[in-house]
Chain A
Amino acid sequence: MENRFGFKDFVLMVLLVAILASIWIAMKQFDRQHETLRTVAEEVKQQAAAQARLERLLAQIDSKIEEGGFAIGAGQGRMPMLEGFVDPKELPDPFEELVRIKAEDDYADGDWVVDAFSVNVAKITPFISRDFYGAVVQSYVVESQAGRDPHNVQWSPQLARTWKIQDNLGDWQAHVDARMAVPLTEEEVLAEAGYEAAEKDEDRAAYLAKRLEEGRLLDDVVSEEDCPPALVVTFNLRRGVTFSDGEPLTANDVVFTYDLVMNPEIDSPIYRNEYGLKFKSVEAIDDFTVAFSFKKPFFDAFQEAAAFSVLPKHFYGPLTPEQIERINSLPGLLMGSGPYKVSYGPEDWVPGKEIVLERNERYWGEPSPAARLVFKEITSDVARLTAFRNGDIDLFYRAVPEQYIEYLKDEELVARSQSVEAFRPNDGYGWIAWNQLKNGGPTPFADKRVRQAMTMLINRQQIIDVALKGYGLIPSGPFNQQSPQYNHEIEPLPYDVEAAKTLLAEAGYIDRDGDGVVESSDGKPLKFKHTIPSSGNFWHEVAPLIKDSLAEAGVLMEIDPLEWSVFSEKVRSSDFDAISMAWGANIETDIHHAFHSSNIGNGANNFPAYANPEIDKLIEKARVTLDEEERMAIWHQVHAILNEDQPYTFLYVRKFLTFGDSRFQNFHPTRMGVSDRSVWYVPSGLQKY
């Protein structure tokens, strides 16, 4: 066992050093090649930009000709195709803000915006990706017909130059009425997919009986081939728009995108079903005109059509089985016509890599200032704040109150950053739903007075102060205070223990045996389980507050935290007493899914089984009312009734809290929270990247 340093060891050492040295040299070599590549790429980019400018110019001439701006020959006026469309001049300029900031003295092009997501993004392929963060990335790469202006929330044209909305309600109604009058025959039911799908004979018989009793359904009638569309939204697309690889965008791409989503093999069942319920067809009238036909009148029909993303046909198609498998499985299949493109190439991003978007030099519109948008993934909250503190990321989007407070405490950090606090119309609300129907029988919460008493017992201001550190509002209904849907005449029910006790007593709940808990007349104590999601801290903080405040009126609440999968199972089967979650919102939110009685049971979203015929009628009416003012009046009525009925206790609306690096100019509050990163710029002296 001699341990001398022998010849063998020497050779080994030499080998090891040699290997290390060659790795080192190889790395250096690689770096140099990389450098050369970068120079070449830079040149290509500049050429592309020059070409894009030319194309833009050509397109402008093109549309001028079409609008009759140039008098080439005598007697040529407007082209007849634009008849009925909104005059493009009346529509807002989507690049007004960009043009304005580019005129600023300190404006400079370049620099990056580095953001960090708090979750791991699995996919960024449009329609396949299901997470919110995937949608954020897509919004810079893929465009749709029109978008909301963040300042006034009005529609401004994007890919579409102009549009028209054709109302065909008269024909549609006549057809529907005629068809609905025809009774449903047995043969028709036998041909239905639901009948085919049933495996056993008795299931088939039951289905037949059920369907015959239900009769003809509106959804079926409007899906029939010969039913005329209720609405047609037609877009006239811009000329000269190209995808980031230089191929022109035409109406065929819009139609292709619709075909892609509707293909049953594509992994986007939600979109397919939503579009299937609403769209009758998407058709190209000519190369630059596309028409979206709707099966039913629907208040947000324009929004559905306008926000429909357009994907390049030559890149995603043709829809062969292999290509469909590719679309379903590749995580980062993303190409569009937007101001940015994926810097790795349109199919090369993989999860775990940071998402880097670089400016699309072929963009048809006004280019954005930032050369790159970078999205990192930092799942730990603490690490994200540290990264911001160190300047590794430039933006802390949607901070939770605790992080925001921590940020405000750090004076040095506050001095070199800027923040925005705002209530946005598209922020949702947290709630407790009171289950009215459990195991086939009514629960104590079936009584409106009990639900009202619950709301009045819960100190919502305290919840906001403790769990949201004061950054929240108490809503009185399912709409956002910043949305025109909200009825500002309705005040939230007050926190009033005495009034609540009176209401409970009226409903028959008084402490009959002196144990502190109130009982109904047949001696059943008012006790229930409050089911909350066990992940995260928020509901764990809120639930004890509710428990303690209910105890003051003798209502016994047990906290029942469930892990998400069990939680969603309980929700689907309505197997709970009271449950807490939050709904998201839109600028105008459709609440049909949660409050309409047709969505009771079968795992649908009206899981507390709230049924009010009046509400049903009003929601149905609001959904088909296209006139905004008239519709808002109906929503206001809905709001008032929901406040009276309290199917939910509407707990809070969060304040939007964001902070970013101070080098960004034009970082300011808008109706939608904070101005978009695509309009921030960095004066040349402050540029970091």
Chain B
Amino acid sequence: MLSYLIRRLLLMIPTLIGVTAVVFFTMALSPGGVGGSEAAAGGELEGKSQQAQLEYINERYGLNEPLLVQYGRWLNRVSPVGFESGQAGKVEWGSPRLLKWPDLGESMSKRRPVTDLYREALPVTLLLNVLTSPITFLLSIIAGIQMARRRGGPVDLGLGTTFLGLWSMPQIWVGVLLIGYLASNQYLQWFPTGGLSSTRAGEWPFLPSWIDGEFNRGWLLDRAWHLVLPVICLAYADFAFLSKLMRSSVLENLSADFVRTARAKGLREKVVLYQHVFRNSLLPLITVSAGVIPALIGGSVIIEQIFSIPGMGKLTIDGIFARDRELVLAGALVSGVLGLVFILIADLAYAVADPRVSYE
């Protein structure tokens, strides 16, 4: 098991290098390139001042170096094993380090260390996804089993089509409609239009309470209230997809030999379903979850944009629009790591859930 884990982790390295290289070189070779022109766009300035600004930025971020050098420097900076980095990420060949803390560099457009930016944004995106996925999985397991039990009946057929419809609904449409009808002052104003907290939530107590006889919903409830629409928007499509998957998986197992045996033993239908079929039916869900969770992170790019939530997706979009080398590369790296780790976790979970699979 351990050797398998190590091998998998080592295989991640070329993949991550590939991911970041694809993104970096596409950016660098596209019109506009990676340049300081964005950060140097100085407005109403004399030519000389603009020139000075551009030179300073090129110098500070090493933008004048050949692309391969720039990419190599970046790799050295983020790699836990490598060399010290000097000015503009210059590799100090003289001082190798066996273990160092990965450094994501400084964002050109936000003028702050990328690590700090991610420290703020990543928890937001993870919160969205961590909230969404258990709800989605739980609901879809329930719905899938119910559909399978009523196979062929009107409920099954109705839900089947409904779920296919749900799955086909574009997130952008659902998001716009939810905001338009449930959060705009023209119609129902039940939810906030966006953001993660009310403007003054910082001053409120953590839990709901009464202050001077007036109800205050508190920080926690306020956060939950802000998350309702984004979570719905993020969850519905995967819920539909996973429910259908669960249904077919349960059905497949119900027609398997061991179920026939169990039934022949005279076990009650409920016992058969929940004790024999249920566990086996979860297997495909685990496999699929490896793909669903990275997709959720990708999907939260859209959700964060629609609901203006300051998460990783929004940060990445900002970085892409500003051609911020560090931000874009960090976006590729972080989402790549998350994606690969989830695939790995799903594979391991599969081994745990299915004793037939072993990674020795």
Contacts and interface: CB of A to CB of B under 8 A. Distances in A.
Direct contact between A and B in the complex (CB less than 8 angstroms)?
A: yes
B212 to A, nearest CB: 15
Closest A-B pairs by Cβ, 7 of them: A604-B47, A392-B199, A566-B32, A380-B308, A269-B56, A273-B52, A565-B323
A602 B32 contact: no
Given A277-B48, A605-B50, A572 B198 contact: no
A446 interface: no
Given A27-B206, A267-B60, A386-B193, A568 B52 contact: no
A277 B321 contact: no
Contacts of A589: 44
A568 B41 CA distance: 7
B49 A274 contact: yes
A272 B56 CA distance: 11
Given A123-B111, A272-B52, A563 B47 contact: no
A101 interface: no
Interface in A593-619: 593-594, 598-599, 602-606
A599 B46 contact: yes
A136 interface: no
Interface in A19-33: 24, 27
B193 A593 contact: no
B322 A564 contact: yes
Contacts of A272: 52
B112 interface: yes
Contact of A383 (B37, B53, B194): B194
A273 B48 contact: yes
A267 B113 CA distance: 15
A118 to B, nearest CB: 11
B38 A565 contact: yes
Contacts of A273: 46, 48-49, 52-53
Given A270-B53, A378-B195, A378-B199, A565 B47 contact: no
Interface string A579-595: 00001100001001110
A376 interface: yes
A122 interface: yes
Contacts of B223: none
Contacts of A130: 111
Nearest to B38: A565
Nearest to A197: B55
B47 A599 contact: yes
Interface of B: 31-33, 35, 37-38, 40-57, 60, 110-113, 120, 185, 192-195, 198-200, 202, 206-207, 275, 308, 310, 321-323
Contacts of B32: 563, 565-566, 569
Contacts of B194: 380, 382-383
* A contact residues, range: 35 or more
Contacts of A392: 198-200
B195 A383 contact: yes
23 contacts: A274-B46, A351-B110, A382-B194, A383-B193, A386-B185, A386-B192, A387-B199, A390-B198, A392-B199, A564-B38, A564-B321, A565-B322, A566-B32, A568-B40, A568-B41, A584-B44, A593-B44, A599-B47, A602-B47, A603-B54, A604-B46, A604-B48, A605-B45
Contact of A270 (B31, B45, B321, B322): B45
A390 B198 CA distance: 10
Interface in A526-556: 535
A605 B42 CA distance: 10
Nearest to A564: B38
B218 to A, nearest CB: 11
Interface string A376-398: 10111011001101101100000
B47 A269 contact: no
A352 interface: yes
A393 B192 CA distance: 15
A1 B37 contact: no
Contacts of A568: 37-38, 40-41
A126 interface: no
A598 B46 CA distance: 10
A351 B42 CA distance: 22
Contacts of B185: 386, 389, 410
Nearest to B121: A352
A83 B146 CA distance: 95
Nearest to A276: B52
A336 interface: no
A488 B202 CA distance: 51
B164 to A, nearest CB: 33
A68 B113 CA distance: 56
A277 B51 CA distance: 13
Nearest to B189: A386
Given A274-B46, A380-B194, 14 more contacts: A27-B206, A120-B110, A270-B42, A270-B53, A272-B52, A274-B45, A277-B48, A563-B32, A565-B35, A568-B38, A569-B35, A584-B44, A592-B46, A604-B47
Given A273-B52, A380-B194, A593 B199 contact: no
A157 interface: no
B202 to A, nearest CB: 8
Contacts of A122: 110-112
Contact of A594 (B35, B44, B198): B44
B177 to A, nearest CB: 15
B78 to A, nearest CB: 19
Contact of A603 (B47, B56, B57, B193): B47
A312 interface: no
Contacts of A277: 46, 48-49
